[in-house]
Amino acid sequence: MRAIWLIFGTLLAAVLVGGWLYRRSATSTTAAQPTAPAALPVLLVAERRAALPSSAQPTPRADSIVRFALAQAGTRYTYAGISPATGFDCSGFIQYVFGRFGVPTSHSTALLIDAGQPVGRAQAQPGDIVVFTGTAATSTTPGHAGIVISALGETPLRFVHASSAARESGVKVSQVEGSGYERRFMQVRRVLSNGPAGRNAENAAARSAAARAVMQATVHPAGAVAALPLPPAEAVKAVITASHPPTRVAPLPVRAPAPRASQTTAKRKAYPPPAAPAHKMAPTRRPASRAKPTKPAPRPATKAKPSAKRRPAAKAPAKSARG
């Protein structure tokens, strides 16, 4: 029995010593390694590559635009119309034709005078926009427009447009020389350019759109990128708060409200007291410099003259008997 207890105690001591040695070796190994900094949450941005614009992009051919514009001949005129189904007005017809080939134009004749680049009347070529004044004889502002279909240097200058004329309205072909449009002619604008120095609206729009896409995209080196798990929202919020602590703003002083006048005082200020009645007003004194009016002296009383009355005749004295 004593031998059994001796063997059990030896095994227990060996287990305790072995565990202590294992913990000591693990602690020394951990202390020898450098401490890694706290890992910040990593946010991945989806990769998006945009094709860079090329300066040699194909420009819409002028003959294609002219051919498509002439195909709309006969479409009725409709104020503010922009499609063959509803009809066209002059600027709506130009917007529909150029928009078919990706060239944006304005649906306002007043703005077409600033589209593209100005060219001389003799240098007009197919695909240019010709602008006229309004129908009024005194008009000097843009009121009508069309698409040039004449070749360079050809006379007369012909154009296709959506006319509102009462005699023959709708999409048709007209000429400048020898017509009322010669008096109304304003300018020729070129929105298509095949030269190296020219810029058309389509290429400008493509450049700006591609530039925005390149700025928004995150370009990574070629190769597969392993998707990392997104960190929890609490960790992201803690990192943002640590890097940008909130600023405290001192409260503005509160001004005490002004004392409010009572309703009775306000009424007294708004309505002055009525004037005293006439019978209670103090008598006005006459100025001292003005003399009092004197009363006229009474007239002396005159005695009425006795009316002349006929005196009776005196009686003769009676004769005495003695005489």
In a domain, 239, yes or no: no
In sequence order, what are the residues at sequence separation of 6 or more whose Cβ sits closer than 8 angstroms to the Cβ of residue 182? 176
Q: How confident is the model at residue 239 (pLDDT cuts 50, 70, 90)?
A: low
Rounded CA separation 151/160 (Å): 13
Question: Which tokens belong to 307?
Answer: 């009316």
Q: Could you report the per-residue pLDDT of 137-181, keeping only the tens digit for each?
A: 899 999 999 999 999 999 999 999 999 998 899 999 999 999 999
Instruction: Check residue 2 and give its pLDDT.
Output: 77
In a domain, 106, yes or no: yes
Average pLDDT value over all residues in the chain = 75
Instruction: Check residue 32 and give its pLDDT.
Output: 54
> Nearest 5°: phi and psi at 14?
-65, -40
In single-letter form, the type of residue at position 112 comes to: L
Domain, as residue range, for 149: 62-205
In a domain, 167, yes or no: yes
Rounded CA separation 68/93 (Å): 11
Mean pLDDT across 98-113: 93
Higher pLDDT, 194 or 99: 99
CATH classification of the domain holding 196: 3.90.1720.10
Mean pLDDT across 250-257: 71
In a domain, 14, yes or no: no
- Given a cut of 90, whether residue 240 has pLDDT beyond it is no
Instruction: Check residue 176 and give its pLDDT.
Output: 95
Which residue in the block uniquely carries the two structure tokens 């009525």?
Answer: 274
In a domain, 4, yes or no: no
In a domain, 199, yes or no: yes
Q: How many domains does the chain have?
A: 1
Q: Could you report the per-residue pLDDT of 74-86, keeping only the tens digit for each?
A: 999 999 999 999 9
Tell me whether residue 214 is exposed, middle or buried, using C-beta atoms within 10 angstroms of its C-beta: 0 to 12, 13 to 18, 19 or more. middle
C-alpha distance from residue 243 to each of 43, 153, 236, 250, 272 (Å): 16, 69, 11, 22, 67
In a domain, 141, yes or no: yes
Instruction: Check residue 207 and give its pLDDT.
Output: 62
In a domain, 84, yes or no: yes
